[in-house]
Amino acid sequence: MKNKQIATFGGGCFWCVEAVIQRLEGIESVVSGYAGGETINPSYRTICTGATGHAEVVQVVFDADVISYEDLITVFMTSHNPTTPDQQGADRGTQYRSIILHHDDGQKAIAEKVMERLKDKFPDPIVTELAPLKVFYPAEDYHQNYYNENPYAGYCLVVIRPKIKKLKKYYSDRLKKEIA
């Protein structure tokens, strides 16, 4: 990996975001976790209360020579609904909000540019939160690589599989060769 960079964002359940982003060319790793709040060392149980301030997010290590941050954020923004505050589908609460946690001012500027470019693609205003990353907490092991480990679980079939289908339809040229 020549131009290794890190991105952190969330768009509802981290299982969904993880499954989509893992399939993109240039992605080295995707770790599900928690960020954007104030609680130190949160757990899934505390996140589910909605009282930690954290969102379910993924932290992505990617090769920017293969997939740019701009392309990564574009895929992210179009693979979930960035217009519903604190909700993705049936998942409701602040932990399911759409959020981009930038690592520097360059990422912030790119995220703003992508959101501005995409704003007319949605019937409602984009409500994606844009904030600096303070700290990222990896989620428990059973949350990692969830879709790949449980492809026939009900949630995976009903919620995640359609997102992957959409990814293949609109971004087939960006997929890892073994997945395309």
Who contacts 133 (Cβ-Cβ below 8 Å, separation ≥6)?
8, 35, 101, 102, 103
Q: Residues 13, 16, 48, 156: which is the catalytic one?
A: 13
- Enumerate the H helices of the chain as residue ranges: 14-22, 44-47, 69-78, 105-118, 146-149, 154-155, 161-171
13 is catalytic: yes
**Exposure string (b/e) for 42-73, b if CB count within 10 Å is 16 or more?**
beeebbeeeebebbbbbbbebbbebbbbebbb
What is the CA 6 to chain-centroid distance, rounded? 12
User: Which of 128, 6, 126, 18 shows the shortest CA–CA distance to 67?
Assistant: 6
Whether the Cβ atoms of residue 56 and residue 47 lie closer than 8 Å to each other: yes
Residue 38, burial from CB neighbour count under 10 angstroms (0-12, 13-18, 19+): exposed
Q: Name the residues annotated as catalytic.
A: 13
